[in-house]
Amino acid sequence: MAGTMTSAPQQPDPSATGAEPASANALEAARREKLRKLQALGLDPWGQRFDGHQSIGEIRRRLGEVALVNQASGERIPFPTDNSDLKTFVAERGPGETDGPQVRAAGRIVLQRPSGKAIFLDLRDWTGQIQVLIGKKQVGDDNWAVSQCFDLGDVVGVDGRLGVTRTGELTIFAESVTFLTKSIETPPDKHKGLTNPELRQRMRYLDLIHSDGVLERFLNRTKIINSIRGTLAAEGFVEIEGPTLHAIAGGAAARPFKTHHNALDIPLFMRIALELHLKRLLVGGMERVYELGRVYRNEGISPRHNPEFTMLEAYQAYGDYRTMMDLTERLIVDAVRATGQQEPLRWGDHELDFTPPFARRTYDELFVEHTGVDPASEAALRELAGKHNIETAGRHPDVIKGELFEELVEDRLKGPIFVLDYPATLCPLTKRRRDNAAVAERFELFVEGMEIANAYTELNDPDLQEQLFRTQLAGQKEEDSMAKMDHDFIRALRHGMPPAGGLGIGIDRLVMLLTNATSIREVILFPLLRPEEE
RNA sequence: GAGGCUGUAGCUCAGUCGGUAGAGCAACGGACUUUUAAUCCGUAGGUCUUGGGUUCGAGUCCCAACAGCCUCACCA
């Protein structure tokens, strides 16, 4: 593929793009004019394979190989690599030439400072940025002619010696330049970059180039996900890929996206959870199994919700919710380490500390602590609910307690804190404690009031599961219920699912916390937006 | 789905009481071989999101639509 498209580039008539405003046309025309000049020089404005370059990060690390050569004595003084101020260093030791290794870099031009018969470029790749000095005399007329065709945003290669200018800036002193790719669009403001949130999301490629920390955040997202896979692998878990098209969208209470398969002529749903297929695999003997993948929920969009998001669900045979609590803590501690951050982490104007062990408190303890009300007293609950305009008539006390908990406790859980032992009536798919059937073996992990993880000792009694599916269905809108009868899932449980712990982690929210993002759209490369017109 | 805020040049933003549309960056021409948001001189660049309305006159006031953000609602 690569070799077939590199012959004579097309030269579309710029006037053919008629609908554009004149100013945009003028900016583009200036770039196309330089594109034509490159072609007149016999160069391909769309570039060719470019071998043997080093990353800018690697090149910057070679500062120690650069020496200042004193003009008078000829003495070679190596530059310090301990982040000391190079400008002061040069001022104290100079004047002199610098001498450094031959390097080859490639990247995008993000700043240009032409100064007569020299040009300073700032070249950026995904590891960093470095200054390049192109002097007319130093590179020769041919290279100089090429460099006159450079625009902000172009991708170029540079060969030269690494050195330091007398202002103390690590610089590639170019000996030749290689044109790699023309940009015919104008980049955003060179200082402020893109700030319009809509443009940042629609044109994420520009956001990645021009907004500080955006590329780093998404690379950190990948590191976090790799870390999670690594931790799970070390614990003996296997990763699987379940179906994303479900005939029955079960495993959670959320509205699914509906679609259709033409050949089978059946309705299908995009999955809303990973749970039911992973549990089938538990039945099938995959004793430690997980999926880390996308789920889809046809619901509102907010700073903490995107219609498609990434979920981890892990199931461990012969474990319970406490097993999963330990696992959750390891997953997060390892992920923090993978980002290379020191505790405490910054998150907005807050600080987060994931130093283990995380606090572990029961639901009822926290309820008393934050409300001063005995969670076992139905009268006290109803009175408290009345004060907070929470509907009580005809509702189970646990449901009232649940709403009070959400209203008065959850938002204040700075965390990280494991909340454990939920009222059983709120958790129909969870095993009860053997010593207290009113309590479900479930925990949720809260950080900054956000629910990050949710885990159970999984229900594996097929008869009870079937009964719960049926009771949920009664009197509830089907689209609002998590309990959609799934006969095959019941059949699987009837063959015997070992007792197990199950864990779900909202990966996007975890990444938000670990990368100092307060909107989920900052950690999803292409969040859902209404399509642009035309 | 409800409410609030925002929408002006490629980007970032001003625009007063309703009276001829402004700046910085980017671009174009010129000067400059150690600049770093380079600097200096000059030039050009606009469907003020869209559609209605009020008015002698609307970027500005009113209504509606569209898009984004925020707060709610929905949401294991």
Residue numbers in A 100-139, CB below 7 Å of strand B: 111-118, 120, 122, 131, 133, 135-138
Tokens representing residue A369 in the block: 């602590």
Span A151-191, pLDDT tens digits = 999 999 999 999 999 899 999 999 999 999 999 999 999 98
Q: In the prediction, which pLDDT does A387 show?
A: 80
pLDDT digits (tens, 9 = 90+) for A342-356: 989 999 888 899 999
Protein-to-nucleotide distance from the CA of A195 to the C1' of B57, whole angstroms: 36
pTM score of the predicted model: 0.90
Task: Please report the sign of the dihedral spanned by the C-alpha atoms of residue A50, residue A52, residue A57, residue A63.
Answer: negative
Between CA A191 and C1' B13 the distance (Å) reads 13
Judge if the beta carbon of A194 is closer than 7 A to nucleic acid strand B: yes
Best CA proximity match to A336, nearest among A318, A311, A355: A355
Nucleotide nearest to A122 (CA to C1'): B36
- Out of A126-140, A250-264, A323-337, A401-415, pick the least confident: A401-415
Average pLDDT over residues A406-422: 88
What pLDDT was estimated at residue A13? Answer: 37
What per-residue confidence (pLDDT) applies to A107?
97
Average pLDDT over residues A7-36: 65
Looking at residue A488, what DSSP letter applies? H
Q: How far is the CA of A21 from the C1' of B18 (A)?
A: 28
Round and report the angstrom distance from CA (A533) to C1' (B66): 9
pLDDT value, residue A149 = 97
Can you tell me the ipTM of this complex?
0.91
Contact A174, A146 (CB under 8 A): no
Query: What's the CA gap between A199 and A201, in Å, rounded?
Result: 5
The amino acid at residue A414 is K
Report the pLDDT value the prediction gives residue A176, as an integer from 0 to 100: 97
Dist. CA A51–CA A114, nearest whole Å: 28
Q: How many helices (H) and strands (E) does chain A have?
A: 15, 22
Residue A17 has pLDDT above 50, yes or no: no
Tell me which protein residue sits closest to nucleotide B31, measuring alpha carbon to C1': A116
Q: How remote is the C-alpha of A505 from its chain's centroid?
A: 14
Q: Which residue is nearest nucleotide B45, judged by alpha carbon to C1' distance?
A: A23
- Cα pseudo-dihedral A457, A460, A461, A467, rounded to 10: 80
At A301-344, the pLDDT tens digits run: 999 999 999 999 999 999 999 999 999 999 999 999 999 999 89
A465 Cβ contacts chain B strand, under 7 Å: no
Q: What pLDDT sits at residue A533?
A: 64
Cβ–Cβ < 8 Å for A150, A109: yes
Share of chain A above pLDDT 90, in %: 67
Question: ω into residue A21 within 30 of 0, thus cis?
Answer: no
Whether A529 CB is under 7 Å from strand B: yes
Whole-number pLDDT of residue A449: 87
The 10 Å Cβ neighbour count of residue A420 is 22
Mean per-residue pLDDT for A276-294?
Answer: 97
Per the DSSP assignment, residues forming a β-bridge with A432 are: A440
Å between CA of A23 and C1' of B50: 21
pLDDT for A22 equals 64
Q: What is the per-residue pLDDT for A70?
A: 80
Distance CA A59, CA A128 (A): 10
- Would you say residue A496 has pLDDT above 60? yes
Confidence of residue A21 (pLDDT cuts 50, 70, 90): low
Half-sphere exposure for A352 (CA within 13 Å, toward CB): 27
Complete DSSP assignment for A278-327: HHHHHHTT-SEEEEEEEEE--S--BTTB-SEEEEEEEEEET--HHHHHHH
Is A30's CB less than 7 Å from nucleic acid strand B?
Answer: yes
Q: Please compute the mean of the pLDDT values over residues A62-81 and round it to a whole number.
A: 87
Question: Confidence band (pLDDT; 50, 70, 90) for A82?
Answer: confident
Distance CA A455, CA A444 (A): 6
Q: Is the dihedral of CA A56, A62, A63, A65 positive or negative?
A: negative
Q: Residue A385 has what pLDDT?
A: 82
Is the model's pLDDT at A364 over the cut of 60? yes
* Cβ–Cβ < 8 Å for A502, A328: no
